[in-house]
Amino acid sequence: MKLFKNINLEIFRRKSSQRYIPEIDALRFFAILPVMLVHFSGALLAHNILFDRDLIDEENVLRQILIHGNSGVHLFFAISGFILTIPFIQKPRKQLKFKKYFQRRLIRIEPPYIIALTIFFIVHIILNEQNFVFLFERYIASFFYLNGFIFQEIPYILPVAWSLEIEIQFYLLMPLFLIILKIIDSEYWRYFIYFILLICSLNIDFFPGDDLNDFMIYFLAGIISADLYKNKKITASYFWDIIFVVSLITFFSIGSSLLRFVFLFFIIKSSLNLIFLKKIISNNVLTIIGGMCYTLYLLHYPLYHLLMKIFTNKLTFFTSFEMNVLFQGIIFVPISILMMAVYFILVEKPFMILSQKIGKTRNSQIKNSNLNLSNTK
């Protein structure tokens, strides 16, 4: 029975090409769950005939709390900054090679996104809510992550993909950032570049719509955290447990970009130096759900609207918004995670594994060649 349980867990567990850090998957959980909850409550309001959405959005305390969950996207940005910086930050400039980096990103990110985008493109055609030309234009723009630049609006087919467009801009420019950081091999130079990026993100708006610079401050929190993680030894202590809890709660409660940057930094930094909370946030439930966050993020928004369109009015047994969100959320949030886990297993995880094989085959061939050469000698 124990072996069977372990096999099941491995099916759902994310594979990593780097040294696995369970705390980072836990942070992904804390990022995706609030986003899912705010979109679930929004879908309920969109389809439930009992409630006035405008009134609830404006006056309901629970809804206001849930809306702050949108900040989870900014936590995702910080995590991306962290994990993409880790492999390169200690390498000298001459050793920075990005071919495998781009190959892995392409194989890891593109197929699950394109498949999901295509599925929902077909669904929109079937629903016939917009004409084909309108949908096809949005599909092509989203296919190339250009919806924000071309239409300056949230993607119509897959609305949550607005943040993926920002992520792609970061993936493309990250090598340039790393090269600039390595122009002078000094931490003081790196801190100067961080300061310049921070000032630009806070004060410069390059394009009318959303672009990387509007959110660079959040990626920067992860980049600086990765720099310190690799270059500065910090002792774990209960102090960091307190910092983690306070920072996580405060982050989802404030609106200032600069303060969010500060608390994002402390969230990541403290999560890596916990004592009391280390086992709690590294448990299987948090890390497995967090590891599936890309699939959950891609699919949860349209899935919740579909589920609420079918079920919310049939399961409205209470007069209060709070009780209905709680009751239906307990039912549909876990069910939706299980449903989306199928997509993770069948679609995302195979490409995740494939992306990790990039470069390994060639390295193995080189090792085998050297071994054969040694044997002949």
Using only C-alpha atoms, the chain has a radius of gyration, in whole angstroms, of: 22
For the chain, the helix, strand and coil percentages under 3-state DSSP, each to the nearest 5: 75, 0, 25
Calculate mean pLDDT across residues 229-245: 94
pLDDT of residue 86: 95
- Domain assignments of the chain as residue spans, ordered by start: 25-376
| pLDDT for 371 beyond 70 | no
Are 22 and 282 in contact, with CB atoms under 8 Å apart? Answer: yes
| pLDDT for 302 beyond 60 | yes
pLDDT of residue 359: 55
| pLDDT for 372 beyond 50 | no
Answer with the residue of higher pLDDT: 109 or 18.
109
Model confidence pLDDT, tens digit, residues 53-76: 999 999 999 999 999 999 999 999
Answer with the residue of higher pLDDT: 361 or 235.
235
| pLDDT for 15 beyond 70 | no
| pTM for the structure as a whole | 0.92
Calculate mean pLDDT across residues 242-260: 96
Model confidence pLDDT, tens digit, residues 192-208: 999 999 999 999 888 77
| pLDDT for 365 beyond 70 | no
Backbone angles phi, psi at 86, to 5 degrees: -50, -50
Are 120 and 305 in contact, with CB atoms under 8 Å apart? Answer: no
User: How far apart, in whole angstroms, are the C-alpha atoms of residue 327 and residue 311?
Assistant: 12
pLDDT of residue 209: 79
Calculate mean pLDDT across residues 118-125: 96
| pLDDT for 18 beyond 50 | yes
Are 27 and 271 in contact, with CB atoms under 8 Å apart? Answer: yes
What size, in residues, is the chain? 377
Which DSSP state fits 348?
I
- What rounded mean pLDDT belongs to the chain? 91
Count of C-beta atoms within a 10 Å radius of residue 344: 25
Are 177 and 213 in contact, with CB atoms under 8 Å apart? Answer: no
Which of the residue ranges 226-235, 251-260, 338-347, 351-360 would you say has the lowest mean pLDDT? 351-360
Calculate mean pLDDT across residues 20-48: 96
pLDDT of residue 20: 83
Rounded to a whole number of angstroms, the distance between the first and last alpha carbons of the chain is 51
Are 199 and 258 in contact, with CB atoms under 8 Å apart? Answer: no
* Residue 151 half-sphere exposure toward CB, CA atoms < 13 A: 20
